[in-house]
Chains A and B, each alone.
Chain A
Amino acid sequence: MPAFIIRRLAQSVFVMLVVAMVAFLMFNYVGDPVHQMVGIETSMQEREALREALGLNDPPLVQFARFVGHAVQGKFGLSYQYKRPVAELFEERLPATLELSLVAALFSLVIGIPMGVYTGLHRSGFLSRVFMTFSLIGISLPTFLIGILLIFVFAVILGWLPSYGRGEVVAIGGWTTGLLTVSGLKALIMPAITLGMFQLTLIMRLIRSEMLEVLRTDYIKFARARGLTDRAINFGHALKNTLVPVITITGLQIGSIIAFAIITETVFQWPGMGLLFLQAIHNVDIPIMSAYLILVAFFFVVINLIVDILYYVVDPRLRVDIGKAGGHG
């Protein structure tokens, strides 16, 4: 197990290097940061001098090497636009994004799993059909549209929820949380639903199809023959056996929730990393863009690692396999 984790971590470093490299190659096509950094009247000579001083005239590989050299020391430089350390900007925004992502993931699990189980057990019930129709909407509507619809219903027409921002936050150490204030909780509702909607429907549909599959298997029939209660069968046996794919998907989805919070954060002016990143793209703020991409790659890698470890907890067969196959994934 420790050997496996170490191997995984080594792979992660490689993945992150590749991400950084691809990002740097892309930066050649996003535009010229210098024109975004100065007012329109700045002379061409001054622009050129600034470009030279920032090292933007060096070949991408040299810039890349310099970036990696600094990044391993934890230095991401100053943002071109804000003229503040990038690391600090991310520290400020990380809590907002993580809080939103985790609440959205939790929302999708807490609502999605019961709905999936229900629709799996009562395939043709009225409620099941309602759920299935609802899930189609969730899967087919783009995130920003859901967000804007929610805003117009709950903020403009009903006036129940705030249309933007994070409400009042409480600082605990270096972490800011909106979970402890009423306005913070209210502000969280719509973004979390918007962000978690797609995952919710995905999980619901996944559980449903897995449940249908599992309920047909022999051991469920045996369990019924043994006279176990419906509850023990459905939740103790059937649901538990559907969990491996659910964990995989959920894990991967948490990664994408964090990464794709960009859109939700923009719609709701949620002060997280995604909003910062989107504005950075607008202004070709390369230090922020590169740091963000590395950070998201890091999240994906860590989450995948956790998912792999969870497999062992849930599925005893894998614990045996690992010895023979010598690796996983």
Chain B
Amino acid sequence: MRKLLFGMTLVVAVAALCLSPLSAPAQAKTLKWAFQGDLMSLDPHSLNETFLIGFLGNVYEGLVRRGPNLEIEPALAERWEIKEPTRWRFYLRKGVKFHNGNPFTADDVIFSYHRAMSEGSDFKTRVSTVKEMKKIDDYTVDVITKAPNPILISEWASWFIMDKEWCEKHGATESANVKSGKENYATRHENGTGAFIVTERQKDVKTVLEPYKGWWDKPKHNLTRVIFTPISSDATRVAALLSGEVDMMYPVPVQDIKRIDKHAGTSVLVGPELRTIFLGMNQTYDELPCSDIKGKNPLKDVRVRKAIYQAIDIQAIKKKIMRGLSEPSALMISPKLFPSYAKDFKRYPYDPAASKKLLAEAGYPNGFTMCMDAPNNRYVNDEQIAQAVVSMLAKVGIKVNLKAQPKAQYFKKVLSYDTEFYLLGWTPSSFDSWNVLYNLIDTRDPKTGRGKFNLGGYSNPKIDALTDKILSETDIAKRNLMIKEAYELLNKDVGYIPLHQQSLAWGKKDNVDLVQRADNVFMLYFVNIK
């Protein structure tokens, strides 16, 4: 017995020895930060995912880039001009070198265009309006588009330029392709022109970056080393910030914001995100399979759609579910991305009485039943929002059966247009309304891909016609008026029910100075550690 006790004491003693306080605080200029997932790849053309592309924006660069307020700035292209409506001339920056020392030239731009168009690439849509790229000289490239496209460069801040010679040397001239069954060199190695170099990478453990001394731009940051770690568990990520093991992390779970703010030395930075969360309604079926109304589809009636709209108490969703962290929206695009006229749009007021009246007028005085689809791990509190909508609709007599599923199953269902009523979010990658109109609002056309995310099949030929004009209109004032008209038509039809823009929440130590961009991208070259 004595031996046993002795043994246990020994165990405790050894444990205590190991438990000496964590080693000294991190060096002044090292930034440690965490996100909920890891980088899928280092290949800048492999996956169009906000986090991946945002991260790689520290390593690779495009011809243009986005500033703190998402304004377009010159990057690898010093300037550009529109020679003809379909011909853009780009003057490339001279003296830029890739991380391996190779010079950056026009050949790299043209190569990156072809690579982005290769089979395994997920960036074909970025450059698909380009008909041809012509090299004029080593530092001048002409881009010929299929049709006039005033927003050509708006998506190019995330179309990254790779080194032709390096890719050819390592057999990475096409983007990684699962079908080939072979690994691509660029999946695990980088050679960009950006402000930071990846010096070490262990999947799911850490990715270490160091500033690129030969960067063409003047660094605004004071970092000497950056260590990125994925931490998937929300509670652990919060703990890592509170215990000081990381200097910055995101996303912060809504319920932990107060806690981090109260803790000495840490705080949460909150700002509106660009993504719009909205509800879509099936307007193509002749009968809703889930509904007790047979022989017709109530959602085809604009009065019913408006009744649903007015039955939703958006302020209650903001207050109770989003804890104040959402901005109710009357538009299918963030007001930040349509500043000219966003203020002119108002939501239909929350009014259950009006809603009931509309239902009675449409011939459903006792309401009806239908099914709803929502993801439960895609957007902030997505399932809770859908549940709230269900209970609000129940008050006006519409009985909704909610099916909330993980995104993998959810997208499988709704992207095959098998849904009656659904919750979805959308951020236009070009930060421009044309993308929203073309993908979400225009009449579905399987041949051209137009309206492919118009999952409910809303259709208004007038909007379709406007979308075409908007694409090629080069007069910005005229263009904005047309966009405004399209959104007005949509709201009159209640083609969709916009809900809100959710908020971004980043947690950081007080001594970290950074820029929170509304596209939820963390650019390291804005970071300063005091």
Q: Do A and B bind each other?
A: yes
Residue ranges of A at the interface with B (Cβ–Cβ < 8 Å): 29-33, 35-47, 50, 53-54, 77-78, 80-85, 89, 92-93, 110-111, 114, 117-118, 144, 148, 151-152, 154-156, 159-166, 182-183, 185-186, 189, 266-269, 271, 275-276, 278-279, 282-284
From 161 to 205 in chain B, residues with beta carbon under 8 angstroms from any chain A beta carbon are: 176-179, 181-184, 187-188, 202-205
With contact pairs A155-B245, A163-B239, A276-B204 given, residues A83 and B41 touching in the complex (Cβ less than 8 Å): yes
A182 / chain B contacts, CB cutoff of 8 Å = 18
B242 within 8 A of A: yes
Q: Determine the residue in chain B with the shortest Cβ distance to A272.
A: B204
How many Å lie between the Cα of A258 and that of B425 in the bound state? 38
How many Å lie between the Cα of A41 and that of B415 in the bound state? 12
Partner of B204, one of A41, A161, A275: A275
Top 8 closest pairs, chain A to chain B, by CB: A39-B48, A31-B408, A32-B412, A83-B176, A31-B409, A35-B411, A43-B449, A271-B204
* Contact B184 A42, beta carbon cutoff 8 Å: no
B476 within 8 A of A: no
CB of B444 to closest CB in A, whole Å = 10
How many Å lie between the Cα of A218 and that of B412 in the bound state? 66
A166 / chain B contacts, CB cutoff of 8 Å = 205
* 23 sampled A-B residue pairs with Cβ under 8 A: A31-B408, A31-B412, A32-B411, A32-B415, A38-B48, A39-B48, A41-B439, A78-B178, A83-B43, A83-B184, A144-B233, A148-B235, A155-B245, A156-B243, A159-B244, A160-B19, A160-B20, A266-B232, A266-B233, A267-B235, A275-B204, A279-B232, A282-B408
With contact pairs A44-B449, A81-B40, A84-B183 given, residues A271 and B202 touching in the complex (Cβ less than 8 Å): yes
Partner of A77, one of B7, B34, B181: B181
How many Å lie between the Cα of A53 and that of B181 in the bound state? 11
Partner of B236, one of A35, A40, A151, A278: A151
CB of B394 to closest CB in A, whole Å = 29
B21 within 8 A of A: yes
* Contact A31 B236, beta carbon cutoff 8 Å: no
With contact pairs A156-B243, A159-B22, A267-B236 given, residues A83 and B187 touching in the complex (Cβ less than 8 Å): yes
A44 / chain B contacts, CB cutoff of 8 Å = 415, 446, 449, 452
CB of A63 to closest CB in B, whole Å = 15
B178 / chain A contacts, CB cutoff of 8 Å = 37, 50, 54, 78, 80, 83
* Contact B183 A85, beta carbon cutoff 8 Å: yes
Partner of B245, one of A54, A154, A164, A267: A164
Mostly, the A contact residues are: helix
B122 within 8 A of A: yes
With contact pairs A148-B235, A162-B22, A165-B205 given, residues A279 and B187 touching in the complex (Cβ less than 8 Å): no
Partner of B240, one of A54, A164, A266, A276: A164
Q: Determine the residue in chain B with the shortest Cβ distance to A80.
A: B178
How many Å lie between the Cα of A36 and that of B122 in the bound state? 12
Residue ranges of B at the interface with A (Cβ–Cβ < 8 Å): 1, 4, 7-8, 11, 15, 18-23, 34, 37, 40-41, 43, 46-49, 120, 122-125, 176-179, 181-184, 187-188, 202-206, 229-233, 235-237, 239-240, 242-245, 377, 406-412, 415, 426, 429, 439, 446, 449, 452-453
B37 / chain A contacts, CB cutoff of 8 Å = 279
* Contact B239 A156, beta carbon cutoff 8 Å: yes
B206 / chain A contacts, CB cutoff of 8 Å = 165
* Contact B408 A284, beta carbon cutoff 8 Å: yes
With contact pairs A77-B181, A111-B11, A269-B233 given, residues A32 and B408 touching in the complex (Cβ less than 8 Å): yes
B46 / chain A contacts, CB cutoff of 8 Å = 83
B426 / chain A contacts, CB cutoff of 8 Å = 40
A279 / chain B contacts, CB cutoff of 8 Å = 37, 232
How many Å lie between the Cα of A268 and that of B229 in the bound state? 12
Excluding A93-B204, A114-B8, 17 further A-B contacts by CB distance (< 8 Å) are A39-B49, A40-B426, A78-B178, A82-B40, A82-B41, A83-B176, A84-B187, A118-B1, A118-B4, A155-B240, A155-B243, A155-B245, A163-B236, A165-B206, A186-B18, A269-B230, A271-B202
* Contact B21 A159, beta carbon cutoff 8 Å: yes
* Contact B243 A78, beta carbon cutoff 8 Å: no
How many Å lie between the Cα of A234 and that of B188 in the bound state? 58
Partner of B453, one of A40, A82, A93, A154: A40
How many Å lie between the Cα of A47 and that of B202 in the bound state? 30
Most chain-A Cβ atoms within 10 A of its Cβ — which of B20, B181, B183, B236? B236
CB of A175 to closest CB in B, whole Å = 15
B47 / chain A contacts, CB cutoff of 8 Å = 37-39
CB of A157 to closest CB in B, whole Å = 9
CB of B341 to closest CB in A, whole Å = 25
With contact pairs A84-B187, A165-B205 given, residues A35 and B415 touching in the complex (Cβ less than 8 Å): yes
How many Å lie between the Cα of A39 and that of B206 in the bound state? 24
CB of A120 to closest CB in B, whole Å = 12
How many Å lie between the Cα of A321 and that of B174 in the bound state? 64
* Contact B48 A41, beta carbon cutoff 8 Å: yes
* Contact A271 B205, beta carbon cutoff 8 Å: yes
B41 / chain A contacts, CB cutoff of 8 Å = 82-83
* Contact A189 B18, beta carbon cutoff 8 Å: yes
CB of B124 to closest CB in A, whole Å = 8
CB of B161 to closest CB in A, whole Å = 19
Most chain-A Cβ atoms within 10 A of its Cβ — which of B18, B204, B231? B204
* Contact B406 A31, beta carbon cutoff 8 Å: yes
* Contact A189 B48, beta carbon cutoff 8 Å: no
CB of A205 to closest CB in B, whole Å = 18
A268 / chain B contacts, CB cutoff of 8 Å = 233, 236
CB of B274 to closest CB in A, whole Å = 14
B177 / chain A contacts, CB cutoff of 8 Å = 83
B181 / chain A contacts, CB cutoff of 8 Å = 77-78
How many Å lie between the Cα of A163 and that of B232 in the bound state? 12
A77 / chain B contacts, CB cutoff of 8 Å = 181
A117 / chain B contacts, CB cutoff of 8 Å = 4
CB of B4 to closest CB in A, whole Å = 5
A161 / chain B contacts, CB cutoff of 8 Å = 19, 22
CB of B390 to closest CB in A, whole Å = 23
With contact pairs A44-B452, A163-B236, A271-B205 given, residues A38 and B122 touching in the complex (Cβ less than 8 Å): yes
* Contact A35 B439, beta carbon cutoff 8 Å: no
CB of A257 to closest CB in B, whole Å = 19
How many Å lie between the Cα of A84 and that of B8 in the bound state? 46
CB of B30 to closest CB in A, whole Å = 15
* Contact A36 B408, beta carbon cutoff 8 Å: yes
Q: Determine the residue in chain B with the shortest Cβ distance to A182.
A: B18
A45 / chain B contacts, CB cutoff of 8 Å = 449
B239 / chain A contacts, CB cutoff of 8 Å = 148, 151-152, 155-156, 163-164
Most chain-B Cβ atoms within 10 A of its Cβ — which of A29, A31, A185, A275? A31
Most chain-A Cβ atoms within 10 A of its Cβ — which of B203, B205, B453? B205
How many Å lie between the Cα of A271 and that of B232 in the bound state? 11
How many Å lie between the Cα of A78 and that of B183 in the bound state? 8
With contact pairs A35-B408, A44-B446, A118-B4 given, residues A163 and B439 touching in the complex (Cβ less than 8 Å): no
A53 / chain B contacts, CB cutoff of 8 Å = 179
A40 / chain B contacts, CB cutoff of 8 Å = 48, 426, 453
Q: Determine the residue in chain A with the shortest Cβ distance to B452.
A: A44
How many Å lie between the Cα of A23 and that of B206 in the bound state? 31
How many Å lie between the Cα of A282 and that of B375 in the bound state? 12
B237 / chain A contacts, CB cutoff of 8 Å = 164
How many Å lie between the Cα of A78 and that of B411 in the bound state? 23
B232 / chain A contacts, CB cutoff of 8 Å = 266, 269, 275, 278-279
Q: Determine the residue in chain B with the shortest Cβ distance to A88.
A: B183
CB of A22 to closest CB in B, whole Å = 19
